[in-house]
């Protein structure tokens, strides 16, 4: 953006220094208050109407150049805005993906932890002899479902 503004200022300052304009099929060059035709100073020999016509033509030319530069600047600003928007969307997408991965990892860790706790508890109860055949079947079913859950969360991690 800095370079764009610098280019605008530079081109504007160059445009102010010497302006060439064509009026009444003659080419004139204006430097400051002086008007030149084919390298000769004709400021004093021109009529007031011609001087005004030349000045008006120069103003019109400057306005046209400024309008053109403004249009270029607007296009450049839109282009930059579009790039920034694309980068923002890309960043948001990456954040969402990261959040999904973190959630999947947390779910996997939780499921694995629950499975390990259930297996330890079943082992303790079995060692103490506090498991009946009906309780053992219930524990087998519970551990089986926990193992399935671990597998599902493991698939979501990938």
Instruction: Identify the burial level of 54 via C-beta atoms within 10 angstroms of its C-beta, where 0-12 means exposed, 13-18 middle and 19 or more buried.
Output: buried
pTM above 0.85, yes or no: no
29-59 pLDDT tens trace: 777 777 777 776 766 676 677 777 777 877 8
Query: CA-CA distance, 17 to 110, in Å (whole number)?
Result: 75
Q: Using 50, 70 and 90 to split pLDDT, how confident is the model at 19?
A: confident
CA dist 118 → 88, 136, 147 (Å): 45, 12, 10
Structure tokens at 54: 């030349």
């Amino acid at each position: 953006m800095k370079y764009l503004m610098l280019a605008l200022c530079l081109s504007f300052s160059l445009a102010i220094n010497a302006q060439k304009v064509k009026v009444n099929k003659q080419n004139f060059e204006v430097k400051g208050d002086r008007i030149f035709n084919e390298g000769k100073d004709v400021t004093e020999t021109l009529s007031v109407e011609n001087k005004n016509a030349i000045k008006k033509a120069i103003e019109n030319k400057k306005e046209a150049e400024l309008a053109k530069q403004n249009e270029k600047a607007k296009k450049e600003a839109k282009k930059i805005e579009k790039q920034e928007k694309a980068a923002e969307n890309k960043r948001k997408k990456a954040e969402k993906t990261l959040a999904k991965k973190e959630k999947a990892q947390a779910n996997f860790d939780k499921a694995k932890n629950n499975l390990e706790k259930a297996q330890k508890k079943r082992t303790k109860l079995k060692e103490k002899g506090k498991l009946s055949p009906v309780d053992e079947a219930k524990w087998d079913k519970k551990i089986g479902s926990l193992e399935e859950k671990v597998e599902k969360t493991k698939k979501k991690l990938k």
